[in-house]
Amino acid sequence: MMVQYLALKAEAVDCLLFYRMGDFFELFFDDARAAAACLDIALTSRGEHDGEKIPMCGVPVHAADAYLARLIRGGFRVAIAEQIESPAQAKARGGKTLVARAIVRVVTAGTLTEDTLLDSKSSNWLVAIAQAGGVYAIAAADISTGRMEMGDVADGALEAELARLGAVEIIVAEGVAVSGITRPRATFDSAKGEAALKALHGVATLDGYGAFSRAELAAAGGLLAYLDHAGKGALPFLAAPIRRTVGEHLIIDAATRESLELTSTPAGRSGSLLDCIDRTVTGAGARMLGGDLSAPLMDRTAIDDRLNLVSHWTAESAARERLRTDLRSLPDIARALGRLSAGRGSPRDLAHLRDGLSKAWDLRERLSTIDQPPALLVALLPALAGHGALIDRLTRAIVESPSIDASQGGYIAPGYDAGLDDLRDAGGMGRREIAALEARFKGATGITALKIRHNGVLGYHIEVPARSADPLMVADSGFTHRQTLAGVVRFNAPELHEVALKVTQAGAHALAAEAAHFEELTALALGSAAAISATADVLARLDVAAANAECAVELNWCRPTLVDHACFEITGGRHPVVEAAVAKSGGRFVANDCRLSASDRLWLVTGPNMGGKSTFLRQNALIAVLAQAGCFVPAASAILGLVDRLFSRVGASDNLARGRSTFMVEMVETAAILAQATDRSFVILDEVGRGTSTYDGLAIAWAVVEAVHEVNKSRCLFATHYHELTRLAEKLNSLSLHNVRAREYKGELVLLHEVANGPADRSYGIAVARLAGMPPAVLSRAKSVLAKLEAGRAATGGLAAGLDDLPLFAALVEQTPTDPLRETLAAIHPDTLSPREALEALYRLKSVEIDDT
């Protein structure tokens, strides 16, 4: 057995091996140690290897999914080794032969299909990354629903794309400098990828799906090869790939997504924008809404189509509620199809397809009667039709509520197969004969406690209490002793054997017939997989539209107006998540306006901590996301020019694992904004420069404001405590000053949370410290120090002295002097140099050309 185990383990060296032994999956050696620690189960031992006991642990087969879920969450990959023949087949091969086993599946985070292992409201993306001709590309698949996307990645946007998808597993070719599971470079071949896609979809050319680049095809090749490896030759259903082009959706980098908490927070989904607005009633709708928020559109026509559909359901409250009631009863046909295509489906999945497709048909009939329907609804409805032959077949074949376990049978409806009905009748008659036989045996023996029972080892047998067994032990009693247990004795009888044989044979034949029907019906369903997938997408889109309408009506949101020019005019804007939290505590959220235009595109916002600056910045960024995702927005009115990139540098965090302090993270993110933002971008910056000394921080903040204004020319909200920056309003034409209002009343700070024109008069830092519970002695000392500092500033001109004499930033952009010698010297770290490296550094210094001017 261990020879067989080690041979299988050699096929899956990077996985834990679940080795099937009867009713358990067993793990040995290091796999056992790792699994026992992760699952918190007992680690035992069995036998010896090289003179040492073999570590061992196991999990029951019937509960394996729960343990698999914990291992996958723990970052493990698991190979499943099943018995591929019965003990009888092994015995027929002759000798003392071990039952053959083989790895039938590799379970990874990106290849899950089981409901018990997946979140019904979240997509489960597996992403392959390839590089060809200096260009990165991705191919992504969610095999639980069959969705597939491909696309080249813009310079510097790979991390943003991975964050958009929320990839649960990433695979990369050897040599590609991206973190992920490394796979052989040969599998990331563009020619093989093209051939695999053609074979998968049964087409002679991919032109109908888009003009794919070499890098995209290479990524697809790597993805399909990995799925083939994980499924051991069985590829799941994948719909035609959707080609994502650069500029198709609003680009949001990973730091901005985390800052704005679009779809998740450190605590999970709870508290995110998605959680706040999600009114969907189906898992598919929730997944699609998450996708919409993750990838807001850049096509005004497509956005307006979504908004028109939301507007329709907003105006029709009774029809909206009826639609949501209908959708609420729908099964998740996309995930049912995914399980069937992966070979892990059940009779219940076939029933889900039957019920879902049937209700989709009824829904289309009703929605088709709407007067003047939105254009998007007209385009969606045809996908709800069809499937008539499949619905009819499944309705006739599958019982109303079948079991998940196909091995138990009983899921094929009576009347579908006359031969199967005969087998069931034979089995039923046999069971009635057994009941009559039991009554006759009781009468003949006088043992009223006699029972005819069945188990998997003995089959049908007679069981009597031990105290009554002696008469049946007599040689001519007509009964044959089979087994003695504590309290009972078991027997057989010739008449029972004959009847039991009929029942067993009829049952086995019935199960085989049902299994054949299940395979046939699954193949029939998979033949319409693409059309079923399209129906599932339409049902999800209807759910999202109705849910967005429900949210808009419930929260009094407005329809945004999208325009081509770069404006951002929000009246009465609110932060949806904060407003919901305030409402729960019985408070009222203070709405604020924000009007950015070509002549007033950069707002410098000052005011006290806790005054609402960060909330104001974030709420406007969220409004942009919601609008371009096709949702109504939390405002009285909203007119927005499309945003191509969204950036947020808000809050303080570090990344010590990568050697980055809080200030370093801030500078890295700010640098990325300055390098990538365009005149169509929307940028929010909060307290840039606060992580270092006052003079350094002010200097950096000053330069960043100038760069955003003069070079990037983005729409920008810049919050700061550096009041010296307000002087820039005199030099920068498109910068205006604003503040969050606060007042001190009887020594107490009153935060009004209102955004007003003009700069703040001061930061109220000590008043905020009092609110935080700072000790009185510390507050008193802080006041005296502040008075000294302010007196010194008044006498010397303070930090702002000399700033008015600085030349404008624009005049310096192309005139920044360089000193090659200083740059070369700065790059040398003497403490780390070997003698040879030091000598080479000297030679480099001698070769530096110096401009004497």
Tell me the binding residues for ATP: 607-614
The four Cα atoms 81, 86, 90, 92 give a dihedral, to 10 degrees, of -160
Q: Are 281 and 324 in contact (CB under 8 A)?
A: yes
* C-alpha–C-alpha distance, residues 435 and 464, integer Å: 15
Binding residues: 607-614
Q: Which two tokens stand for residue 720?
A: 């700061």
Give the residue among 133, 230, 132, 248 at the shortest CA–CA distance from 181: 230
Strand, helix or coil at 437? Answer: helix
SS3 for 292-361, per residue? HHHCCECCHHHHHHHHHHHHHHHHCHHHHHHHHHHHHCCCCHHHHHHHHHCCCCCHHHHHHHHHHHHHHH
The four Cα atoms 264, 149, 335, 24 give a dihedral, to 10 degrees, of -80
* C-alpha–C-alpha distance, residues 597 and 734, integer Å: 9
SS3 for 359-380, per residue? HHHHHHHHHCCCCCCCHHHHHH
Question: Strands 602-606 and 715-719, how do they pair?
Answer: parallel
Which runs of consecutive H residues, i.e. helices, occur in 104-213?
158-165, 190-201
Give the residue among 566, 574, 683 at the shortest CA–CA distance from 626: 574
Buried b (16+ CB within 10 A) or exposed e, 337-350: bbbbbbebbbbbbb
SS3 for 807-833, per residue? CCHHHCCCCCCCCHHHHHHHCCCHHHC
* C-alpha–C-alpha distance, residues 468 and 397, integer Å: 48
Alpha carbon 599 to its chain's center: 41
Q: Which two tokens stand for residue 413?
A: 């409806």
Q: Are 105 and 231 in contact (CB under 8 A)?
A: yes
Q: Which two tokens stand for residue 585?
A: 């505590």
Give the residue among 531, 347, 273, 167 at the shortest CA–CA distance from 539: 531
The four Cα atoms 130, 133, 135, 136 give a dihedral, to 10 degrees, of 0
CB atoms within 10 A of CB 581: 14
Strand, helix or coil at 772? Answer: coil
Which runs of consecutive H residues, i.e. helices, occur in 412-528?
418-445, 470-473, 494-526
* C-alpha–C-alpha distance, residues 453 and 243, integer Å: 61
What is the side-by-side order of every strand in the sheet holding 480-485?
451-455, 459-465, 488-492, 480-485
Strand, helix or coil at 452? Answer: strand
In angstroms, how far is the first alpha carbon of the chain from the final one? 82
Packed helices 214-230 and 190-201: angle between N→C axes, nearest 10 degrees = 60
Query: Which amino acid, residue 325?
Result: T
CB atoms within 10 A of CB 614: 21
* C-alpha–C-alpha distance, residues 605 and 617, integer Å: 9
CB atoms within 10 A of CB 512: 13
